[in-house]
Amino acid sequence: MSQRLRPQRSVRFSTGSPAQRRRATLLVLPALVPAVFVVVGGVGAAALQSLGLMPLVGPGRLSVDAYTGQADDLFRALGLSLTIAVASTVIAALVGMGTALLIVGGRWCGRIVAVTSAATVTVPHLVGAASVGLLLADSGVLARVFGVPPELWPSLVGGPWWVAVVAEYAWKESAFIGLVVAGTLITRVARFDETAALLGAGRWKRFRFVMLPLALPALAISSTIAFVYSLGSYEVAWLLGRTYPEPLAVMALRLFNSVTLTARPEAAAAGVLTALVSFLIVGLCFWALRKTAVWR
C-alpha cells in the first residue's frame, strides 16, 4: 500500500507539465476563490471597518479609537471568551478521549457510545443550547428531578460561572472530538494494541504507550477546532449567558446591532481580535504538529 502511495505523493511536489498544472489549478479554483474571498475579504473588511476606513456613511478616516476607546471591555471579553473556551475544551477533550477509547474497544458498549455521540454531533449548537437551558435552568428538568426549589438551585444558566455555556460546548465538542479520535484510532490501533498486549503490556501501558501517542495528533487537532469554535461562537453564550460581562462574540453582535454610529467599528474591532486569536491558536497547533504526518 505505502509503496503505491509514495509515487503519487511525490507528484504533488513536482511541477508537472503545464497542461497538468493548468488542469489541477482549474480543479482547485472553484474552492479556492470563494474561500479566499470569504476569509481575506471578511477579516479584511472587518479590519478596515475597525480602523475607520470603511464607514457606513461619510469619508473614511484612519483611527484606532475602536480599539483604544474600549480596550478594557475588549480585554475583559477576550479573557472571558478564552476562559469559557479553555474550560469547555478541556472537559470535551477528556470526555472525547474516553469516548474514543470506548468506541475503539468495540462490541455493544462501543456501538452504543458511537451511536449516541454521532447523534450528538448532528445537533445544531443553538438546539443544544435550548435543551441545556431546559435541563439546567432553575425550573429545569434537573431541578424538578432533584426536587430543588428555584431559589436554592445554583444559577447555572445566566449565572456568574457560565456553567450552562461551558456544559453545552463540552457536550457537543466531546462528541466531535470522540468521533474524530476514534476515526483515526480505529483504522490502525487494533494491530498495535494486540502486539503490545502480546508483548505483555497491561491496560495502563497500552493506553500510555500505544493509544495515547496514536491519538494525540487527532486529539490536538480536534481540540483546537473545538477551542476556536467555542471562542468564535455566538448563540450559545447569548442564550445561556448573562449580559455582563459578555464574551467577544456577544459583545460584537450587540455593538453590531446598536444604533450608535461609533458602534460598528467597535463591533468590527471585537471581530478582528477574535479572528486574530483564533488564527494564532490554530497556527500554534500547526506548529506543534509540524513534525507529524497529519498535514502531509
Partner 1 sequence: MTSRAPVSPAEMLARPVTRIRLPGDPGSTLTRSRAPGRIVRILSSVLVAGWFLLPFVPLGLWAFANDWSFPDVLPGEWGFEGAGSAIRQGALPALGNSLGLSLVVAAIATPVGAMAARALTFGSVPWPRAVGLALLAPIALPPFAAVMGLNVILLRAYIPPAAGLVLVLVVMALPYTTSTMRVAYAAHDLRYEEEARTLGASRWNVLWRVHLPLVAPALSRAAFLAFLVGWSDYVVTLIVGGGEIVTLPLVTASMAAGIGNDAAVAALSLSAIVPPLVLLALAGSAWPRRGQTTNPALRSRGEQE
Contacts of partner 1 in 181-240 (CB under 8 A): 184, 186-188, 190, 193-194, 197-200, 202-203, 206, 225, 228, 231-235, 239
Residue 165 touching partner 1 (CB under 8 A): no
Spatial distance between the Cα atoms of 19 and 3, rounded to a whole number of angstroms: 27
From the list 58-66, 68-76, 145-153, 155-163, the region that binds partner 1 by CB under 8 A is: 145-153
**Inter-CA distances, 271 with 38, 42, 110, Å:** 14, 10, 40
Site residues for partner 1, 235-274, by CB under 8 A, read: 235, 239, 249, 252-253, 256, 267-268, 270-272, 274
Q: Alpha-carbon distance 270 to 252, whole Å?
A: 6
**Which H or E run contains 91?**
helix 71-105
- Cα separation, 89 vs 163, whole angstroms: 13
Q: Which amino acid is at 61?
A: R
Bond from prior residue into 154 cis (ω within 30 degrees of 0)? no
- Report d(CA 231, CA 247) in Å as an integer: 8
The cell numbers describing 76, all together, are: 475583559
The one segment of 58-66, 68-76, 111-119, 154-162 that binds partner 1 by CB under 8 A:
111-119
- What's the closest the beta carbon of residue 126 comes to partner 1, in angstroms? 4
- Residues 40-79: x where in contact with partner 1 by CB under 8 A, - otherwise, as a string: -xxxxxxxxx----x-x-----------------------
User: For the chain, how big is the Rg over CA atoms in Å?
Assistant: 23
| 3-class secondary structure, 148 | coil
Q: Which is nearer to partner 1, 39 or 64 (CB)?
A: 39
Least CB distance to partner 1 at residue 68 (A): 19
C-alpha cell at 66: 475602536
Q: In terms of CB distance, is 160 or 191 closer to partner 1? A: 191
- Closest to partner 1 by CB, 102 vs 219, is 102
- Interactions with partner 1, residue window 79-98 (CB under 8 A): 95, 98
**Count of residues engaged in binding partner 1, rule: CB under 8 A:** 122
